[in-house]
Amino acid sequence: MSDALALPVSGAAVLVLLMAPGTAAVRVLRGSWLLALALAPSLGLALAGLASLLAGLLGVRWSLLPWTAAAALLVLGALGLRRLGARMPSTLLGGRLMPPRAVPLAPLWVACAAAIAIIPIMHAAGWRPDAVLERWDTLYHLSALQWVRESGSASPLTLGAISNSSRTASLYPSAFHALASLVPGVPVPVLLNGSVLVLSTVPWIMGIALLARAVLPQTPWAPAAGAVLAALIPGAPVNEWIHLSPIPNLVGFAALPGLLAAGVAMWTALLRTATVRTVLTASLAVGVGGLGLLMTHPNTAVMALLLLTVLTAPDALHRAGRHPMLTLIPVALLVPVAMLQFTPLGGMVTEFSGGLQVAWWTALGEVVLGLHTVWPMALGVVLALAWWPGVVLSWRNGPRWLVAAWALVTLLYLDAAVDSPLDLSVLFYRGQDRLTMPLAMLSCLLAIVGLRWWGRLLRAPSASVRQPAWTRFTALALALIAVLATLGSIPTRAENASRNLALDHPGRGRFLQADELAAWERAAPTMDMSEKVLASPFSGASHMWALHGQSVHFAVAGGSLGHRDELIMQAARDAPTEPTACAFLMRWGIGYVYQDRISYQYDARYAPLDADLTGIGPVVFSTPHSTLYEVRCDPGDGGTDYVP
């Protein structure tokens, strides 16, 4: 199968694996189709995460077999709960997504919006299905998928092993990698691109359409508008992928709108009519969905808890006199957040330092004008003209929780942008780029409210009254501005994407150069795959594990270096002239050493590898900026008591 065919096939396969089990389970519990589709992404991630964890504990190799067994258990469990009387509540997410004639040709508009978002990215990649995104995190996730294929383990207890050269098991949320790695026979770069392209768009667009239906049920065209806005808004997960490549994070945030839509719909239904069985069933469904977000990336689960708290707190407080137990719901939702924020449990995140810092007036301008970090463009300003009236009207007429949620996420965004000492955004790596995604989600809903207001303002008060000329002119001008801003975003999207996808871009570092890729492709069939390549991970060598299956010593960029790693690099420097250094390299399985003078960035920790290695062994290949040596130096009597 060609890579051009493998890309959509792998994406479609991953989407089916994501959606099918959760949809079936919710339908078994008498949930509507729309409710099932809302919950399916987060439930699918939960299934992949939990099944891979259990398979790892049982020593079962991760594949479609244990996933199928887990999916069957999920559906059988739902059948068992149904026999016990459990059922999903009847919610706003029932029947059709919207009336048939609410928006003529709605699927076509959504497809066009998605094309505007995706085609510039594909063009920037040169239409290469196996294009490698030039970001740190991409290397990590390529290596993670290769690790799952070789080790047979996608457990979150072991996936972090790739972050160190000794492959010592450590924690890393693995739901995405467990799900994507289920597709066999597809080259890892193609599999990664196909999986992320689908998982960053379909659940996001569908989820915001369902969320619009749940939050704005009196606006029949809201789901179509929500879907179009979700595809076009600059802060969408697909753009975050190209911007920074925090793949599990963006996959979790893409699944968040559906889970929130289900939460809104079921909370509204349970406030009207609740039984013990429907409350327990709804709580179980949302809880398992939240677990799916947790096992994809913890801060997406944190965001879900915060938004559900904002949703439930006003009603719980309002009804506290008659139903005091309701107040426990928002409290229970906040407890895990507080534990992560203020205890060592969140240490992996709260100890993180770094990220883009801007002046407070720049951060405020980004929020006011819609020019968020991902990606600032004129279209964002046009969308802000819609969501700002939505903020005012939603606060005045409801739903107020939506404004409160938007204000909360905006506050977190500002805190991250200025690196505030308050550390409110610490659970999100103090990264406003990650917070752009939930902010975009809420902005889409507020923009629908704003568009509804603009529509009422500019149309005639009744069919018998002629529309004033100024309103017709204003409506036409605004529509023209929106179309021009949308089409005008295409060059901006293409330029932003080319910074990290094109083989070469002025002023941007690259792991992989075109001549380097070609040289590795020619050399790979002749190399011993069991022998490790020693090289700075900021060169192109570390990618060869995922691209060609060639073993590497450093699998990720920015990983931790141990004393042994330092000794191995110093031994490589000394191996051409010192037999014990040569023997030391061979002892640790180093069969090749790679030097590259044009790398993604310079890291002084790998400086010993820049020494003159003439004499360490024959040259496998060389380019104008790099050389790959095979280690064939003299190990002497084989003694490995190397001291630098």
| Residue-by-residue DSSP string for 294-355 | HHH-HHHHHHHHHHHHHHHHHHHHHTTTT-GGGGHHHHHHHHHHHHHHHSGGGHHHHT----
- Asked which of 201-205, 258-262, 581-585 is least confident by mean pLDDT, the reply is 581-585
- Quick: pLDDT tens for 568-606: 999 999 999 999 999 999 999 999 999 999 889 889 999
Half-sphere CA count of 373, side-chain side, radius 13 A: 26
Please give the average per-residue pLDDT across 90-100, as a whole number: 92
Same domain, 523 and 614: yes
Residues 6 or more apart from 256 whose CB is under 8 A from it? Answer: 42, 207, 293, 300, 303, 304, 307, 438, 441
Whole-number percent of the chain with pLDDT over 90: 81
Same domain, 20 and 65: yes
Residues 6 or more apart from 434 whose CB is under 8 A from it? Answer: 240, 244, 246, 249, 253, 299, 428
Same domain, 223 and 199: yes
Domain membership of residue 445 (yes or no) is yes
Same domain, 211 and 271: yes
The Cα-based distances of 24 to 57, 176, 601 in angstroms read 27, 20, 48
pLDDT of residue 347: 64
- Asked which of 147-156, 273-282, 528-537 is least confident by mean pLDDT, the reply is 273-282
pLDDT of residue 176: 98
Same domain, 364 and 309: yes
Same domain, 617 and 490: no
Tokens of 371: 């020019």
Please give the average per-residue pLDDT across 14-23, as a whole number: 98
Same domain, 530 and 473: no
| Residue-by-residue DSSP string for 214-267 | HH-TT-TTHHHHHHHHHHH-TT-HHHHHHHT--HHHHHHHHHHHHHHHHHHHHH
- Quick: pLDDT tens for 163-183: 999 999 999 999 999 999 999
- For the range 598-604, what are the long-range contacts, defined as Cβ-Cβ under 8 Å and sequence gap of 24 or more? 598/510, 598/513, 598/625, 598/626, 599/509, 599/511, 599/536, 599/538, 599/539, 600/134, 600/136, 600/509, 600/510, 600/511, 600/538, 600/539, 600/557, 601/509, 601/538, 602/538, 603/536, 603/538
Radius of gyration of the chain (CA): 26
When pLDDT is cut at 50, 70 and 90, the band that residue 351 belongs to is low
Give the angle subtended at the CA of 514 by the CAs of 511 and 516, to the nearest 5°. Answer: 70
Same domain, 492 and 571: no
Domain membership of residue 436 (yes or no) is yes
CA–CA separation, 179 and 536 (whole Å): 30
Domain membership of residue 506 (yes or no) is no
pLDDT of residue 506: 86
Domain membership of residue 116 (yes or no) is no
CA–CA separation, 407 and 424 (whole Å): 13
Same domain, 561 and 601: yes
Domain closes at, from 443, 478, 500: 500
- Quick: pLDDT tens for 475-529: 888 889 999 999 999 999 999 999 999 988 888 889 999 999 999 999 999 999 9
151 touches 168 (CB < 8 A): no
With the C-alpha atoms ordered 584, 589, 591, 592, is the resulting torsion angle positive or negative?
Answer: negative
Residue 255's domain comprises: 3-75+128-500
Domain closes at, from 450, 468, 500: 500
- Helix H, strand E, coil C: the string for 112-157 is HHHHHHHHHHHHHCCCCCCCCCCCHHHHHHHHHHHHHHHHCCCCCC
Domain membership of residue 566 (yes or no) is yes
Tokens of 480: 């023209």
Domain closes at, from 466, 500, 534: 500
Tokens of 324: 């005091």
Mean pLDDT of the chain: 93
Same domain, 60 and 134: yes
Structural domains in the chain (count): 2
pTM over 0.75: yes
Domain membership of residue 81 (yes or no) is no
pLDDT of residue 97: 94
Q: Are strands 590-596 and 532-534 parallel, antiparallel or unpaired?
A: parallel
pLDDT of residue 249: 96
Same domain, 325 and 206: yes
Tokens of 110: 């959504």
* Alpha helices (H) in 59-105, listed in sequence order: 64-83
Same domain, 299 and 419: yes
Domain membership of residue 57 (yes or no) is yes
Q: Are strands 590-596 and 619-623 parallel, antiparallel or unpaired?
A: unpaired
Domain membership of residue 467 (yes or no) is yes
- Quick: pLDDT tens for 424-471: 899 998 889 999 999 999 999 999 999 999 888 877 565 555 667 767
